[in-house]
Each structure stands twice: as C-alpha cells, then as structure tokens.
Amino acid sequence: MPRQESCLRCGQALEAPVLACAGCGSPHDERDRFCSHCGRSLTTPVEAEPPPPGEPPFLPEPQRFPRRLVALLAVFAALLVSVTGLKIVDGRYFRPGNAVVAFFEALADRDADAAIARLAVAPDGDSTLLRTAVLRSGGYTPPSDVRVGAYEVTADRATVEAEFRVGGTSHRREFSLVRDAEATAGIFYRWRIDGGVFPLDVAASGVDSVLVAGTPVALAASEYGRNTLPALPGSYRVTLPEQPLLEATESVVHVGVSDTEYASVLVEPVVKNGAREAVDQQIRAYLEDCAEQPVLAPVGCPFSSYSFGEVRNVRWKIDEYPPYDLRVDEGGAILTNVQYGTATVTGKSVSSFGSGTYPYEDTVTFTIAGTITASGGTINFLPAAD
C-alpha cells in the first residue's frame, strides 16, 4: 500500500515541520505568520510572566544536616588528626631505637655532652675521657655505619639491637634502655640507654702516665702502672707522652664493641736509641767521679779494695767500663750488666813495723746498678744505694 505523504484535510506535508502557537498551542506550518485560531503572531517570542508582587522567585532549598551531627563530625575529625599526629611524633622521636640512633649520632658529631645526655644515669668516677675535647682529638674515631634493628619493650624497659663498625670491623650488640619516669610535654616518654660507657683498662711499665686520644692519663705506681677509666664507644689511640728516654709503639684499643669483650691495652715502653749516648755519658761521669776519690773504698761507688794496713796516695783508674743493657721496669729504665768492668787502684802501703812504705796495687772487677729516669726533658742516672 502506498505511503500517504500529505494531510487529507489541509494538504500539509506530513513530514513538514510543525510550529505550535505560543498563545494557544495550535499547530501551524512553519510558513504561517499568524495563528489561525487566536491570531497571535507566530514569530514573536514569548516573554516569561513576572511573579506576583512581593513573592521571591522559587529556588530549591538545599538539604541541611542537623547541627549536632555536624559538631560531632568536626570533633571526630579533630581527634583523628590529633591522634595521628601524636602517633607520628611518638614514632619518630620517642621510640627506643631513636635513643640509640641519637647516641651514635652524638658520637659521630664528637659531642660527649650530647652522648651522655642520652644515658639513663650520668657516669660517675674519673671523667678524663668523657669530654668533648677527647672525642674531637685525632686519637679518637667514632663508630660508623650504624644500623638499629629490632627492639622489644616490656613495661618501662626495652632492648635494642644495633650494628656498627669500629676499627674496620662490624660489631653487633644489644643495648638496654629505661623509660623516663616523667613524660615530655605531659604526653611522650623518652627512652635512655642504661649504661652506654664502658671500662677502658690502661697499663704501662716505667712511666707515670700515658696518652689516650692525646689526653694524659695518670697511672698507679706499681710494676705495671694501671688505671681503669670509663669511656664512650669508639677507637682510642694510646701511646707515651714525648720524653727523651722512653718511647712506645702506638696501640689502638676498641671500646664498647661487645657485651663480653673487656677493653684493655698494655703499653710497653722501650729505651730510645738516642738515649743510650746520654746514659753512657752519665755512667762514665759517675764512675770517673768515683775514681777521683783517693780512698780504697770510694763512697757510693761500685768498686773498692781492702788492705790490712794504711795505704797512702791512693789512685783509681777505670780499665774497662762494664757493658750493660737497659730495660724498663716500674721505676723507669734500669741497667742490666752484660759483663764485669775492671778498675786498678795503686798507692803506698805503710809498713806496720814503721820501716817505711811499699807499693800497693789491686785490680778489681765490678758492675754497676741504678735507675735511669727522665725529668724535665733531661735524662738522669740514679746509682743504686750500697
């Protein structure tokens, strides 16, 4: 059946655009200019009617939450921010591991006061080595490559594992910590290291002091003078103060590297090669002074002769000086005889019968003994008492 293309009533094309009257809504062809029903112009736009006087235009009212709910949500958000912030501060600055990190950072900065401030109890006793000047000397090397590992907390105590390098070797030890009794800002509790300083035992023979990281450390007077001092972790160079008689190879001792290893160092002085000439001169001068005495038994001297009768015009002559070695003992350096020396004495022996004199001669062997010390930059030989 063929498709109908126009209206049977008015002849308008069925697919032609239809224009509705703005006044009454009657349909019209787009070519019409006026409405055939109400006469209104089909080309004039319709103006919106103004609202009645005194009435505002209609706007949809926004949805509102109850004020109490809004207040509760604001309080909850503030608490959430506060708790999160407190946890961040506590985790960053007040964990046990942070106290250990801060302790090692103070050592790396060579700040003894800052390191000691991280300790639960300030060390007592000799504080010679617990000074910033010691840590900043060339004789001290702080731990390096510090890594803080796992930690455990039980009430107000904690343990922290730390790994670090001292003397080119990696060490691992466990630090014990205690929590402060009073909170910081009324909220946070700081942790402090229980201990943190370790005993350093220093011993040497023949000297009254040694240098530890360039700092003089007095030693007790004994066969091996000793002193035990508290020290912070790290490496310390130990040697002798400069003097004309003795010297020692520099030693390095590592402190605080483990819970069981006890830090100790023995300084072993030896006589300087250049000191022997000065010692020789003093010993020769001593023996020559003895030989100047015109008696058979010079006072304070290592040689003597004996005669039943009177001997006049006594003269001594050193034939051979006794060879010796020098070794260090508690008093400094002492002489060790290698073999005997010889001396000859001559004079006039008086006859017991009053008939004149006759020659007197005697050759004796002897050794020397005494101690050699250094004082005020001078080497001094002290002969042993009879």
Q: Which residues pair with 73 in a beta bridge?
A: none
State which amino acid sits at residue 244: P
Q: Which pLDDT band holds residue 334 (cuts at 50, 70, 90)?
A: confident
Please report the pLDDT score of residue 206 as a whole number.
84
Rounded to whole angstroms, the maximal C-alpha distance in the chain is 198
CA–CA dist 216, 291 (Å, integer): 42
Name which residue leads in pLDDT, 231 or 376. 231
All domains in the chain, ordered by first residue: 95-193 (3.10.450), 198-270 (2.60.40), 275-383 (no CATH)
* Cα-Cα-Cα-Cα dihedral sign, residues 174, 179, 185, 188: positive
Q: Which pLDDT band holds residue 220 (cuts at 50, 70, 90)?
A: confident
Length of the chain: 386
Please report the pLDDT score of residue 24 as a whole number.
79
| Average model confidence (pLDDT) across the chain | 83
User: How many CB atoms lie under 10 A from the CB of residue 123?
Assistant: 17
Q: Of the given ranges (107-116, 176-185, 316-325, 336-345), which has the lowest mean pLDDT?
A: 176-185
Q: Which residues pair with 154 in a beta bridge?
A: 157
Residue whose C-alpha is closest to residue 279's, from 208, 370, 179? 370
Please report the pLDDT score of residue 53 as a whole number.
61
Name which residue leads in pLDDT, 336 or 187. 336
Which alpha helices (DSSP H) does 268-359 contain, by range? Answer: 275-291
Q: Which residues contact 215 (CB under 8 A, 6 or more apart)?
A: 128, 129, 131, 133, 134, 137, 139
Residue 62 has pLDDT above 90, yes or no: no
Q: Which pLDDT band holds residue 92 (cuts at 50, 70, 90)?
A: very low
Residue 304 has pLDDT above 90, yes or no: yes
Helix H or strand E segment including 373: strand 370-375
Which alpha helices (DSSP H) does 137-200 contain, by range? Answer: none
Which residue's entry shows tokens 């004199």?
Answer: 357
3-state class (DSSP) for residue 40? coil
Whole-angstrom CA distances from 88 to 91, 160, 303 are 5, 20, 86
Residue 88 has pLDDT above 50, yes or no: no
What value does the mean pLDDT take over residues 29-41? 74
Residue 6 has pLDDT above 70, yes or no: no
Share of the chain above pLDDT 70, in %: 77
State which amino acid sits at residue 116: I
| Interval 351-378: pLDDT, tens | 877 678 899 999 999 999 888 888 778 8
Q: Dig out the tokens for 315 from the structure.
A: 């003269």
Please report the pLDDT score of residue 248 as a whole number.
94
Q: Which residues contact 70 (CB under 8 A, 6 or more apart)?
A: none
Q: Which residues pair with 3 in a beta bridge?
A: none
Residue 46 has pLDDT above 90, yes or no: no
CA–CA dist 110, 288 (Å, integer): 56
